[in-house]
Amino acid sequence: MFGPPCSRTTRPAIGKLPEMNPSDALVTPQQVDIVYETDQPVTYEVVDAVAWIMMNRPGFNNAQNGQMTYALDDAFQRATADDAVRCIVLGGNGKHFSAGHDIGTPGRDLHQPFENRLMVPGHVNKPAAELLYTREKEQYVGMCRRWRDVAKPTIAMVQGACVAGGLMLAWVCDLIVASDDAFFQDPVNRMGIPGVEYFAHAYELPPRIAKEFLLLGERMSAQRAEQFGMVNKIVSRDELRPTVTAMAAKLVAQPRLGNWLTKQAINHVEELMGKRNAMEAQYHMHHFAHAQNDLVQGSSIAGLDAKAMAEANKKQAGE
């Protein structure tokens, strides 16, 4: 009891840090020219207690870059914090809801650092496969889960293409209303990748249909998606916004806490069905595939840029 208050014997001597593993060496971030066509990749408007969050890169079919991801997160946070907002709509300006993650516009910002929102370190100085693993944990799967858990009811308003990364944005919403010309597609098996990062495919669709959806990577019409319960309602494009407005007005009129508890109750059922665990398992397969592509072809997306993917998708659809 008269001994030293604490022993120093278990601490490493100062100046004798363990030797760094070569895999821990940070790299110089790649300098890539990024040209943002807008400083407003997302617009935000509140009308009658409904926050309308609209992706706003219509010239690039609302391809989702980091700039847009953080703007979306800002918008969801703003809508969450504003007590005057009781329902959130997520849509896309222009012809299409979203063509997916940005893999080829001048605003592609893979090597751009952002202020991270999750407990994930920055990605741009990480070596090899760690860079993409870190980035997608923060910007894709992490953000999507965060938006799914927003404490207010959300509606996705989908027209035209809802492809790959676009699926993730529609799927995180509680309800999906689609125009009759909308279609859904996850063609990343073409890159040797087993589906996009937010792996909800087998929860949105029956397992055998999810296999077909991913293995063939073909477009699924809104009508077929509705048969499987992936879409709540289909209307003409002209009726899309009025229909969503009416649905949102009904949600606004429901009790605030009731809306929150109800969506949580259903989300919890999905968790009991293993959704998060399934996603965690697939995330690592997804990144094994990115790494394999990089090792074999020097490109984590198998050298397929947005143009090549769009052309292959159109060819497959007979356009």
Cβ contact 159:138 at 8 Å: no
Nearest distance in Å: CB 194, Zn ion: 11
- Alpha-carbon distance 233 to 78, whole Å? 27
Residues 127-166, mask of contacts with Zn ion (x by CB under 5 A): ---------x------------------------------
Residue nearest to Zn ion (CB): 136
**Minimum CB distance to Zn ion smaller for 52 or for 213:** 213
Cβ contact 135:91 at 8 Å: no
Helix (H, G, I), strand (E, B) or coil at 278: helix
249: exposed, middle or buried (C-beta count within 10 Å: 0-12, 13-18, 19+)? middle
CA dihedral 122, 123, 127, 128 (to 10 degrees): 160
Cβ contact 219:184 at 8 Å: yes
Which amino acid is present at 38? T
Residues 77-116, mask of contacts with Zn ion (x by CB under 5 A): ----------------------------------------
Nearest distance in Å: CB 140, Zn ion: 7
**Minimum CB distance to Zn ion smaller for 132 or for 182:** 132
Cβ contact 83:46 at 8 Å: no
Nearest distance in Å: CB 105, Zn ion: 17
Nearest distance in Å: CB 133, Zn ion: 9
**Minimum CB distance to Zn ion smaller for 102 or for 136:** 136
* Locus of tokens 């504003």: 82
Cβ contact 39:17 at 8 Å: no
Nearest distance in Å: CB 263, Zn ion: 27
Q: Phi then psi for 161, rounded to 5 degrees? A: -80, 135
Beta-bridge partner residues of 47: 50
Nearest distance in Å: CB 65, Zn ion: 14
**Minimum CB distance to Zn ion smaller for 109 or for 136:** 136
Nearest distance in Å: CB 37, Zn ion: 23
**Minimum CB distance to Zn ion smaller for 136 or for 186:** 136
**Minimum CB distance to Zn ion smaller for 62 or for 293:** 293
Which amino acid is present at 101? H
Nearest distance in Å: CB 189, Zn ion: 13
Q: 154: Cβ–Cβ under 8 A, 6 or more apart, which residues?
A: 87, 88, 89, 90, 147, 172, 173, 174, 175
For Zn ion (CB under 5 A), the number of binding residues is 1
Helix (H, G, I), strand (E, B) or coil at 184: strand
- Which tokens is 16 given? 């004798």
**Minimum CB distance to Zn ion smaller for 139 or for 154:** 139
**Minimum CB distance to Zn ion smaller for 136 or for 204:** 136
Where does this chain bind Zn ion (CB under 5 A)? 136
